Amino acid sequence: MTYALETRGLDKHFGGLHVTRDLSLQIRPGARHALIGPNGAGKTTVINQLTGVLEPSSGRILLEGQDITDLPVHKRVLRGLSRTFQINQLYADLTPLETIGLAVSERLGGGGNWWRRMGTRDDINAEIAETLERFRLLDVMNDRTSTLPYGKQRLLEIAVAIAAKPRVLLLDEPAAGVPEGERKDILAAVAALPRDVTVLLIEHDMDLVFSFADRISVLVSGALLVEGAPDEVARDPQVKAVYLGEAA
Amino acid sequence: MTTNAQTEVGFHARQHGRWHWSEFAFWIVVLAVGLAFPSRYLIMTEILRLALFALSLDLILGYAGIVSLGHAAFFGVGAYCAGLLSVHGIINEPVLALIVAGLAATVLGFATSFLVIRGVDLTRLMVTLGIALLMEALAERFSNITGGTDGLQGIDIQPIFGVFAFDMFGKTGFFYSLAVLFVLFLLARVIVHSPFGLSLRAIKNNPLRAAAVGIPVNKRLIAIYTVAAFYAGVAGALFTQTTALASLDVFSFERSADLVLLLVIGGSGYLYGGLIGAAVFRMLQELFQWITPQYWMFWIGLVLVVIVLVGRHRIHAYALWLPNLILRQIAGRKAAVALTDNEAP
């Protein structure tokens, strides 16, 4: 079968530091897959290799069966692989309208257009409106991003990734740092992601992981420790040992 | 609901690129000043040229966040190219020569853009500075072509379209420069309000996120750097055509450095900063030279320090206090002139 996203023997060294070890992940189309592991397990390094920010030392990455290991970041996005960041990566001086507008323009092929004014294509406007509405950002669409409350910025972070209409979405700790009162909006947004989008979730919050994921991979010291359905993983003695801080 | 939202989104997305009445006012004032001081054409032409040059730097610095200390490289290539075209009688029509000179700078801009997009601010400062120094050294080395330290001899600019001859008062030169500046300003205005222009601002804000939504960051930076080189080349060609001079100092470091000062004075990222900065800078220079011919550099330096310390926003607020007061009296509360730094008016 063709996996939505697959890694084959992924390896990454930083000098003498071995941060990803022979990692082979298979993520099925439409899956809600979570990648968990203790601090320093190398989860974000994996994401950065998947998206092309970091080059793996060896191994291949396949998106829907096609090798994307050598593609630059923006080409992977256009192939349907999009991500959110653990720490918001937004445009401080731009508005949510502009932020989403850029992502939509880029995907619909109007991003390099230099002679047309923003806002003159109905198909682009319609999608911007739909995305802003879905993430409850319509009322703040003209505010500078840096002035938005943190929870709204977090929503915008997810909205931008969705605006790229990914077939595979990587969520890097979507609820990180969000105050309790604004959390439910984020969780609702994550739960409402379209079913045909394959999601790989990186998360510390076990409640979120177990309520969301139908498949869990546990990463320890850059290598895959266990993979399985949530209840299998929860019962696994090795996983318990890792999370209780004992030597496995 | 959704159609409403769509209409609203479209409206607000277009809002940014809409002409503000203060912009009309700006250009009317420019034209009025040009008509009102016929004895000052030479310095006003100089300001226009400087404004176009600054507009070029604003495109890469204010929008894409590329710092440069070597923008004179393109100015110089445009200047020499226009001069050589005239001396050798290759292209005698000034407008055509202007475009060709601009394109010559464009070629250099494209070729060097690959060096500039690598690295971050400090690297870029050094690389751009280095390129300008190289160009200056080359112009000196090939003095058989460029005239070396003596400058290019025998530049004789023919009438524009064969009709409008350059006169000794500089009237033709002034209106010619104004027309060129205005046309290129309009083009720049279209560019910065397009999706392409917005993507540049996105790259300046956060290149990591820009790439993560599918923006080809390097390609966009190369494109705008190349366009800016064209603008600078045209500014250089205007210099040659309106002064009938081209000498080594077109490549000088001071020329590049002054340009950064202009944008510090006028503000960057809203297109008018370079234009306002050019006028203020040149007039301050003139004023201080008149008051104290020997020490005018000291006063320019002092003004810059004050601008940076006090902050441009506050100075704008002070400067616009009186006009706003009058406007409010006449037009009610809503009309207020405001210059914003990072947003287009």
Cα Rg of chain A, angstroms: 19
Residue B116 counted as domain residue = yes
**What pLDDT does residue B340 have?**
44
Per-residue pLDDT tens over the stretch A107-161: 988 888 898 888 889 999 999 999 999 998 999 999 999 999 998 999 999 999 9
Same domain flag for B103 and B217: yes
Using a CB-CB cut-off of 8 Å, the residues of chain B touching A118 are 13-14, 16-17, 193-195, 198
Q: Which domain holds residue B18?
A: 1-32
Per-residue pLDDT tens over the stretch B45-94: 999 999 999 999 999 999 999 999 999 999 999 999 999 999 998 998 99
Residue B315 counted as domain residue = no
- Of the residues B253, B274, B298, the one at which a domain ends: B253
B7 CA to centre of own chain: 35
**What pLDDT does residue A109 have?**
85
Q: How many CA atoms lie within 13 A of A37 on its CB side?
A: 24
Same domain flag for B41 and B20: no
Alpha helices (H) in chain B, listed in sequence order? 2-15, 21-36, 41-58, 72-87, 94-116, 121-141, 143-146, 171-192, 195-205, 207-212, 217-243, 253-266, 272-291, 296-310, 312-319, 321-331
Q: What are phi and psi of A66, to 5 degrees?
A: -105, 135
Residue B70 counted as domain residue = yes
Residue B331 counted as domain residue = no
**What pLDDT does residue A183 have?**
83
Q: Report the C-alpha gap between B196 and B215 in whole angstroms.
A: 10
Same domain flag for B74 and B136: yes
**What's the whole-number mean pLDDT along residues B269-287?**
92
Q: Report the C-alpha gap between A118 and A100 in whole angstroms.
A: 12
Q: What is the DSSP string of B176-217?
A: HHHHHHHHHHHHHHHHHTSHHHHHHHHHHH-HHHHHHTT--H
Residue B110 counted as domain residue = yes
Instruction: Say how many domains are in chain B.
Output: 2
Q: Report the C-alpha gap between A117 and A125 in whole angstroms.
A: 12
Same domain flag for B18 and B41: no
Rounded to two decimals, what is the model's pTM? 0.89
Write out residues in chain A with pLDDT < 50, as ranges: 247-248
Return the residue of A nearest to B343 by Cα: A93
Same domain flag for B82 and B13: no
Q: Quick one: pLDDT band at residue B266, thresholds 50, 70, 90?
A: confident
Same domain flag for B20 and B165: no
List all residues of chain A from 108 to 137 with a beta carbon under 8 Å from chain B.
Answer: 110-120, 122, 125-126, 128-130, 132-133
Q: Quick one: pLDDT band at residue B297, thresholds 50, 70, 90?
A: confident
**What pLDDT does residue A244 have?**
66
Residue B151 counted as domain residue = yes
Q: What domains sit in chain A, N to C, each tagged with a CATH number?
A: 5-90+165-243 (3.40.50.300)
Q: Quick one: pLDDT band at residue B2, thresholds 50, 70, 90?
A: low
Same domain flag for B42 and B65: yes
Q: How many CB atoms lie within 10 A of CB B211?
A: 24
Contact A33, A199 (CB under 8 A): yes
**What's the whole-number mean pLDDT along residues B220-249?**
95
Q: Report the C-alpha gap between B131 and B123 in whole angstroms.
A: 12
Task: Report DSSP state, residue B92.
Answer: -
Contact B91, B240 (CB under 8 A): no
Whole-number Cα distances in Å, B135 to B108, B119, B155, B261: 10, 21, 21, 22
**Interface probe, candidates A71, A81, A85, A98, chain B, greatest B C-beta count within 10 A:** A98
pLDDT of B300 > 50? The answer is: yes
pLDDT of B342 > 50? The answer is: no
pLDDT of B337 > 70? The answer is: no
**What pLDDT does residue B142 have?**
92
CA distance B196 to chain A (A): 5
Q: What is the ipTM of this complex?
A: 0.88
Residue B300 counted as domain residue = no
- Contact between B214 and A78 using a beta-carbon 8 Å cutoff: yes
Same domain flag for B21 and B52: no
Q: B149: exposed, middle or buried (C-beta count within 10 Å: 0-12, 13-18, 19+)?
A: exposed
Q: Report the C-alpha gap between B46 and B65 in whole angstroms.
A: 26
**What's the whole-number mean pLDDT along residues B119-138?**
92
**Interface probe, candidates A75, A88, A115, A118, chain B, greatest B C-beta count within 10 A:** A118
**What pLDDT does residue A188 have?**
86
The better pLDDT of the pair B290, B319 is held by: B290
Same domain flag for B169 and B145: yes
Same domain flag for B26 and B157: no
Residue B296 counted as domain residue = no
Same domain flag for B117 and B65: yes
Same domain flag for B97 and B6: no
